Structure 1
Amino acid sequence: MRKTDKKIDNKLRGVLTDVCDIALETIPGYQWITHTVKYDAFPASLQVSCGFASADAIEQLQLEQQDVVLKKLIFKKLAAVDINLKDVNKQVKLVVAK
């Protein structure tokens, strides 16, 4: 990993930790957040996954449109550190935690 890649990764970890802390307190069924990235195609290659307790928790989240709130939170927090997602709906996934 190059030095610049490490700096980006540190920013990502900090932001996603903040998002995780907020989501744990405010979103029912939310459990964790993680990311994958290919630094040679950053930020388009960034994929953020949010883990939930069950498919029902994700369905309820979407019914209440809280998924939009979560995605906006991720987008805004990343933008605050100059990381701009190209398409938040494709780059943020809601998954059932295993």
Structure 2
Amino acid sequence: MRKTDKKIDNAIRLALTQVCEALKDEVEGFIWLTHSVNFSQGLDSLVITFMFESQALLDKANSEQQTLQMIALAQASLEMENICLANPKKQCRFKVND
């Protein structure tokens, strides 16, 4: 990983940490998030994964459109670091912690 890649990854991590802490208080069943990126493929390879306690709570978040709000919050937080998601709905995934 190049030095610039490390700086970008750190900016992503810091932005998403703030998102994670905010969502823990706002979205029932949300427990944590993670990200992955392949810098050789560029930032279009950035994927954010939001983890929920159960499928029922994820379904509830979907039905109340909270998942869309979660995507928007992550996108806004990253944009403050000059990091843009090319396709937020595809780059944000929602899973259940098994």
Normalising by structure 1, we get a TM-score of 0.97
Name the residue aligned to 2:80.
80
After the TM superposition, list the runs of 4 or more consecutive aligned residues in structure 1 that deviate by more than 3 angstroms: none
Q: Which amino acid aligns with 1:91?
A: Q
Distance 1:38 1:64 in 2: 32
Q: Which amino acid aligns with 2:47?
A: Q
The Cα shift of 1:42 comes to 2.0
Structure 2 spans left out of the alignment, 5+ residues: none
Name the residue aligned to 2:57.
57
Name the residue aligned to 1:31.
31
Structure 1 spans left out of the alignment, 5+ residues: none
Q: Which amino acid aligns with 1:34?
A: T
Q: Which amino acid aligns with 1:31?
A: I
Name the residue aligned to 1:41.
41
Distance 1:18 1:64 in 2: 22
State the superposition RMSD in angstroms.
0.7
Q: Which amino acid aligns with 1:61?
A: A
Give SS of 1:84's match: coil
Name the residue aligned to 2:97.
97
Alignment deviations for residues 10-69 of structure 1 (CA, whole Å, 9 cap, x no partner): 001101100000000100000000011000222100000000001111100011011111
| Identity rate, percent | 35
Normalising by structure 2, we get a TM-score of 0.97
